[in-house]
Amino acid sequence: MNILFAVLSKKERVKQLDMKKERTFVMIKPDAVQRGLIGEIISRFERKGIKIVAMKLLLVDKQLAEKHYDIHRGKPFFEPTVEFITSSPVVAMVLEGNNVIETVRNMMGTTDPQKAAIGTIRGDFGQYIGRNIVHGSDSTENAEFEIKLWFKPEEIVEYTRIDESWLFE
Ligand code: RTP
Ligand code: MG
């Protein structure tokens, strides 16, 4: 039990436990990097109060791309998706926040940008399913797998943001 938790009232402790602190893996795909949308996308997550705990720009090799999309192996879009993701740099991130896996998926919008709601990242910036701007883990299991696949433990940074006491109830 940390010191802060120990001094909280019972009601406050229950609230703290209600918060589902999670991490998710997010990738800004080559189309968004090429179109100068890195700042716009990161800014949306920042403004939501989501914390960036790891981030890097990299050119993805075929082996990493195939491991990342392994669950789609054998599907018709597997090869084109691997080719696309390795075609130009991406920005890989680990994001942390309350229920962040679902929150990021909601902020991204549905897979096909044509169907994604306006106001979501894909809905606002994309037009084609194979050029859909951003990736976010879709479950706790996949988030864990993808974070381990893309980042070494020492690349993930624990820190406190100055706005945290104003963000959490
Ligand atoms: P992502 O994994 O990239 O976050 O996307 P997602 O969960 O919304 O969609 P998923 O079903 O996991 O598909 C992975 C990526 O494959 C491409 N795709 N193309 N042509 C098609 O029917 C098709 N379906 C999927 C998309 O680029 C999608 O993001
Ligand atoms: Mg997916």
The β-bridge relationship of strands 90-98 and 21-28 is: antiparallel
128 lines ligand 1 (CB under 6 A): no
Query: Are residues 133 and 11 in contact, defined by beta-carbon separation less than 8 angstroms?
Result: no
Number of C-alpha atoms within 13 angstroms, CB side, residue 73?
7
- Best residue for ligand 1 mutational test, from 84, 111, 131, 138 (most atoms within 8 Å of Cβ): 111
Q: What is the pLDDT along the chain (169 residues), one digit of tens a residue?
A: 455 555 655 556 545 555 789 999 999 999 999 999 999 999 999 999 999 999 999 999 999 999 999 999 999 999 999 999 999 999 999 999 999 999 999 999 999 999 999 999 999 999 999 999 999 999 999 999 999 999 999 999 999 999 999 998 8
Q: Report CA(130)–ligand 1 centroid distance (Å).
A: 7
77 lines ligand 1 (CB under 6 A): yes
Beta partners for 90? 58
Interatomic CA distance for residues 117 and 121, integer angstroms = 9
pTM of the model: 0.90
Query: Are residues 77 and 130 in contact, defined by beta-carbon separation less than 8 angstroms?
Result: yes
Domain boundaries of the chain, sorted by first residue: 20-164
Q: Which CATH number describes the domain made up of 20-164?
A: 3.30.70.141
81 lines ligand 1 (CB under 6 A): yes
